[in-house]
């Protein structure tokens, strides 16, 4: 551990020194020294340095680096961060940088810009690069088509291994990955796949048809990106081919793109579970953050008013047995907590596909059993506590039974609501924690005061 800490300290010290040299080179406008030290760094470290600089220094970096070097730098950043930088670049330089990037990454950036900006960049851009980008821009967002790249290596059945190797050498510099080589027939339909290892060890006179594998896993161009991510997880692939309805190969999706998708989907689900309409960024100002949070809060405000009106309907019960008010937060809180726990399990199960493997009925029964056990235990505990505290055995039984019933129903609600939403093609993460909590508040109040009103003669 000591050796690791020493290595980490040396690493940080090394880059602190290097950053100091780079800043000095920018201040002195020493292009040669800046390029030598900057290009010696890993692209991720380049991106970290670049994003740490004020605008005047970033403008110098654009002048000192080529569009290809800027493209490599930008591809190491988060998508949200890149938009600001493209806005401050000269449009012609920005279009050249976009043309140098992997096509799918360029499309991701252009999808975030308005139509006028996109048209401007594509008009200035090299025609070949613009045509490639246009092919992907028309695909619907968050589908396989929108995240695929057209930079791959395809071979034909009739080629020999030797010919394929020569073609691979020619195409590899422009391909995003060469782990897998995709085999096409004369109609350009996907018929097989070949690993780079199998090609290397094959006899150079062997036909591709003889050494390829016909066990192909491909995705439709219209498939949802979340489903594609699930396939990567299940099959442990580094890349997946994307085909149209006639099985023509359109592009490939690589694992690095899927990692971005997983992060994006996780961020969205987390925001929805927290009742935030959009993903918040750390650099959002107070007004933007409030704007993103308010829609759900307004809905929850009205639901809360409904809960308050329910309590008002039991005003007579409260007037006769005021001690009942003490346990309202306890019962409502327990319902919200257990409902949120069940919700988290349900949303995760739907996201990972576990429900498809185990069966929803089995998981609902499990959650019902869990709610019954936890409700019974909590009900017995609170009954004993209230009896020892207040000396009222029936009050303890009332609160204990209310908690038991509430926990069973709240657990089932936390499981069933996301499943129903998923059935109606609504994102189950919309069944957010605060939403489930409020619904369970209403259920718990009805159960608690309904039972108290029914058995009032035992409480007075």
Which CATH number belongs to the domain containing residue 41 in this structure?
Answer: 1.25.60.10
Query: What confidence tens digit (pLDDT) does each residue in 327-368 have?
Result: 888 888 888 888 878 877 777 777 666 655 556 777 788 888
Q: How sure is the predictor about 14, in pLDDT bands with cuts at 50, 70 and 90?
A: low
Q: How sure is the predictor about 70, in pLDDT bands with cuts at 50, 70 and 90?
A: very high
Among 239, 269, 299, which residue terminates a domain?
Answer: 269
What's the confidence (pLDDT) of residue 355?
Answer: 58
- Residue 274 is assigned to a structural domain of this protein: no
What's the confidence (pLDDT) of residue 279?
Answer: 52
Res 1 pLDDT > 60: no
Whether residues 261 and 177 fall in one domain: yes
> Can you give the residue range of the structural domain that contains 173?
154-269
| Least confident window among 35-49, 84-98, 279-293, 318-332 | 279-293
| Least confident window among 3-7, 207-211, 263-267, 302-306 | 3-7
Whether residues 131 and 161 fall in one domain: no
CATH number of the domain residue 170 falls in: 3.10.580.10
Name the domain count of the chain.
3
- Residue 192 is assigned to a structural domain of this protein: yes
Highest mean predicted confidence (pLDDT) among 5-14, 17-26, 264-273? 17-26
- Residue 299 is assigned to a structural domain of this protein: yes
CATH number of the domain residue 454 falls in: 1.10.357.20
Res 9 pLDDT > 90: no
Q: How sure is the predictor about 96, in pLDDT bands with cuts at 50, 70 and 90?
A: very high
- Diameter of the chain measured on Cα atoms: 97
Res 60 pLDDT > 90: yes
Joined together, the tokens standing for residue 294 give: 């308010």
Res 87 pLDDT > 90: no
Q: How sure is the predictor about 429, in pLDDT bands with cuts at 50, 70 and 90?
A: low
Whether residues 261 and 341 fall in one domain: no
Name the average pLDDT for the chain.
82
Q: How sure is the predictor about 3, in pLDDT bands with cuts at 50, 70 and 90?
A: very low
Res 125 pLDDT > 60: yes
Whether residues 330 and 447 fall in one domain: yes
Whether residues 313 and 371 fall in one domain: yes
Name the residue with higher pLDDT: 267 or 222.
Answer: 222
What's the confidence (pLDDT) of residue 7?
Answer: 40
Whether residues 82 and 216 fall in one domain: no
Highest mean predicted confidence (pLDDT) among 55-64, 80-89, 351-360? 55-64
Q: How sure is the predictor about 13, in pLDDT bands with cuts at 50, 70 and 90?
A: low
What's the confidence (pLDDT) of residue 383?
Answer: 92
What's the confidence (pLDDT) of residue 34?
Answer: 92
Name the residue with higher pLDDT: 262 or 38.
Answer: 38
- Residue 334 is assigned to a structural domain of this protein: yes
Among 81, 106, 138, which residue terminates a domain?
Answer: 138
């Amino acid at each position: 551990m000591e050796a690791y800490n020493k290595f980490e300290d040396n690493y940080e010290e090394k880059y602190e020194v290097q950053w100091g040299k780079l800043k000095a080179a920018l201040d002195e406008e020493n292009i040669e020294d800046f390029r030598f030290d900057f290009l010696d760094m890993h692209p991720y470290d380049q991106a970290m340095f670049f994003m740490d600089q004020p605008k005047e220094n970033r403008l110098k970096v654009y002048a000192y680096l080529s569009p290809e070097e800027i493209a490599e730098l930008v591809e190491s950043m988060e998508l949200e961060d890149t938009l600001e930088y493209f806005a401050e670049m000269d449009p012609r330089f920005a279009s050249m940088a976009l043309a140098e990037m992997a096509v799918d990454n360029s499309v991701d950036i252009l999808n975030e810009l308005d139509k006028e900006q996109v048209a401007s960049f594509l008009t200035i851009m090299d025609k070949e690069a613009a045509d490639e980008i246009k092919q992907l821009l028309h695909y619907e967002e968050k589908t396989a088509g929108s995240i695929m790249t057209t930079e791959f290596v395809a071979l034909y059945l009739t080629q020999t291994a030797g010919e394929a190797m020569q073609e691979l050498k020619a195409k590899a510099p422009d391909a995003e990955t060469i782990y897998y080589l995709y085999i096409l027939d004369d109609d350009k339909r996907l018929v097989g796949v070949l690993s780079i290892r199998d090609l290397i060890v094959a006899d150079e006179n062997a036909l591709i048809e003889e050494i390829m594998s016909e066990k192909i896993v491909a995705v439709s161009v219209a498939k949802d990106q979340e489903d594609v991510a699930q396939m990567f997880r299940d099959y442990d692939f580094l890349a997946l081919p994307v085909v149209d309805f006639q099985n023509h190969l359109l592009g490939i999706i690589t694992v690095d793109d899927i990692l971005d998708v997983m992060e994006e989907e996780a961020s969205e689900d987390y925001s929805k579970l927290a009742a935030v309409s959009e993903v918040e960024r750390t650099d959002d100002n107070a007004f933007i953050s409030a704007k993103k949070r308010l829609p759900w809060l307004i809905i929850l405000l009205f639901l809360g008013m409904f809960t308050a009106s329910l309590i008002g309907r039991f005003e007579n019960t409260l007037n006769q047995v005021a001690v009942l008010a003490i346990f309202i937060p306890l019962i409502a809180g327990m319902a919200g907590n257990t409902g949120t726990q069940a919700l988290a399990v349900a949303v995760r199960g739907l996201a990972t596909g576990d429900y498809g493997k185990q069966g929803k009925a089995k998981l609902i029964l499990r959650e019902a059993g869990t709610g019954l056990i936890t409700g019974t235990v909590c009900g017995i505990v609170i009954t004993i506590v209230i009896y020892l505290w207040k000396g009222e055995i029936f009050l303890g039984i009332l609160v204990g039974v209310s908690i038991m019933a509430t926990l069973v129903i709240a657990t089932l609600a936390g499981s069933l609501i996301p499943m129903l939403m998923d059935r109606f093609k609504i994102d189950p993460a919309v069944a957010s924690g605060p939403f489930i909590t409020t619904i369970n508040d209403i259920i718990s109040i009805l159960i608690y005061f309904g039972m108290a009103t029914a058995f009032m003669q035992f409480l007075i």
